[in-house]
Structure 1
Amino acid sequence: MLEPSGAGRSLMLVLHDIAPETWPDYQPFVQAVDEMGSVPMTWLVVPDFHHRNPLARSPTFCRLLERRLSRGDELALHGFYHADDGPTPRSLGEYFMRRVFTHEGEFYALDQAQALHRLEQGLALFARQGWPVAGFVAPAWLMSPGTRQALCQLPLRYTSTPQHLYRLPDFTAFDAPGLVWSARSAWRRGLSRVVCNWQCQRWHSAETLRLGLHPVDMRHRFSRDYWLRTLDELLLQGREPLTKSAWLERQVLA
């Protein structure tokens, strides 16, 4: 485990589940962030969200992502379907992770060959679009051993879990604590605010913080306003906004 380089405090604003279907949720938030000034974002792009949003059939949305790249944002690969369509779970623990904890852990049960195939499909789509890609984030941050093995065979520079960024291919871990909400119901949103406020205090001196946003957060003013307010507060504290790639590059060079 490596500590961050100490080159100055930073933050990373990360938008999960990016697809044509979720863009209307994000659009007002992204506009508000753009009005704050230069705040680069990492967009976690799903090539065919839930088997109904193939990017190849959404040229207008692809052009939007290209404009975000020109602004200094980053696109990363976020699964391929963002849906767990694997075989029926075979154990109680697997059932909990794949049917109770989440239905979207696409890479939780894949073997090495299956994971490699989907990763290569995603990277091929990025290549056809001419989009640079350095990172992969598994849906729900769930990766099977086979997925980890597959990542070591590809020209990717990083992956991540809720509290760490991992440099590839050696999986060197860097502390990068993340804030995330569960916003599907009012009680979850209320609890998420309490937990994240506590985490912000706990990690006040952390070298970096990641804000991990999801489309459902944007559908409720309560959670959307929290993220805008938190981002503004962290910027006022002097934290520098960076993409994941830019942050990792500083660690590698330090």
Structure 2
Amino acid sequence: MSERHLLLVLHDVAPETWADYRNFVAVVDALGNVPITWLVVPDFHHRQPLTAHLELRRKLDARLARGDELVLHGYHHCDEAPPPCNPKDWLMRRVYTREGEFYRLDQAQARQRLERGMEVFRHCGWPLHGFVAPAWLMSEGTRQALRETPLRYTSDLHHLYRLPDFQAIGAPGLTWSARSHWRRGLSRLVCSGLAARHRQAPLLRLGLHPVDMRHDFSRHYWVDLLVRLLTEGRRPLTKIGWLERQSAQAPGSGA
């Protein structure tokens, strides 16, 4: 059987969501060397700029020292575009999510926010390799803007993409919508089915959100699934760790 890998990804990391993750991360750390990919929002909903929050910056410094990765995850993580003007927009921006910050941006707007986010990482002294749009929603303008940056990858729910050419790599993702009781129940059914379907996939991503941590039902699911996947032999890596490993093993790499 070929080697299989696992990416544990925590979304929406910001001063106000850190407490949601604290206990879960302690459980993960107790499992041993399980690196985490943290999707960091520089100014979550305009409420608390990360640059002004020294406590969280120090905690993320410590996570980097452990071998984790920090990824730029939007800038404000809220959709401030004009109201939806057609059924598709309404479905994506009012039913699927209200957080699709980069869904309606043109190239110049997307480039400006990307540059502001990259500047926050430079200010904090953090290495930056990747960008993930809130709710994985990217406009064509965002895709064009990403091609102009030094960033090495982005992703959606089903793929990783090497930049700047958006080379697609199959990377099935498991995630929950945990905002209500019925959503949590349905998410468990869907995720369990997807986990079984992708059991032999070379790469599997677990995409967790702060709201998942606020309910025992969803939090315990993620812990149990992580333990099972590790027991089955999946090797945990960060996103950039996995991509660099693939590059090193590619023909002609000299590895």
Pick the TM interval, shorter chain: over 0.9
Count matched residues. Answer: 249
Q: CA RMSD in A?
A: 1.0
Percent of counterpart pairs with the same letter?
63
- 2:80 aligned with 1:95: no
**Distance in 2 between residues matched to 1:157 and 1:107, nearest whole Å:** 18
Aligned counterparts, 1:188-207, within 5 A: 188-207=183-202
**Distance in 1 between residues matched to 2:2 and 2:126, nearest whole Å:** 29
Structure-2 residue corresponding to 1:3: none
How far the C-alpha of 1:100 sits from its partner, in A, is 2.2
- 2:23 aligned with 1:28: yes
Aligned counterparts, 1:239-250, within 5 A: 239-250=234-245
How far the C-alpha of 1:7 sits from its partner, in A, is 6.2
- Secondary structure of 1:212's counterpart equals strand
The one-letter amino acid of 2:236's match is P
| Match 1:160 to one of 115, 133, 155 | 155
Structure-2 residue corresponding to 1:214: 209
**Distance in 1 between residues matched to 2:178 and 2:79, nearest whole Å:** 21
Q: Flag structure 1 segments of 5+ consecutive residues without an equivalent.
A: 1-5
Aligned counterparts, 1:62-77, within 5 A: 62-77=57-72
The one-letter amino acid of 2:132's match is V
How far the C-alpha of 1:56 sits from its partner, in A, is 1.4
Say which structure, 1 or 2, has more relative contact order (CA 8 Å, 6+ apart): 1
Q: Normalized against structure 2, the TM-score is what?
A: 0.96
Structure-1 residue corresponding to 2:43: 48
| Match 1:39 to one of 23, 34, 38 | 34
Moved more, 88-97 or 152-161: 88-97
| Match 2:74 to one of 75, 79, 88 | 79
Q: Normalized against structure 1, the TM-score is what?
A: 0.96
- 2:227 aligned with 1:232: yes
The one-letter amino acid of 2:161's match is Y
Structure-2 residue corresponding to 1:105: 100
Q: Flag structure 2 segments of 5+ consecutive residues without an equivalent.
A: 251-255
The one-letter amino acid of 1:183's match is A
- 2:171 aligned with 1:176: yes
- 2:113 aligned with 1:118: yes
Superimposed CA distance per residue, residues 80-105 of structure 1 (whole angstroms, 9 cap, x where no aligned partner): 00000112223222122122221100
How far the C-alpha of 1:174 sits from its partner, in A, is 0.3
The one-letter amino acid of 1:189's match is R
Structure-1 residue corresponding to 2:253: none
- Secondary structure of 2:55's counterpart equals helix
- Secondary structure of 1:169's counterpart equals coil
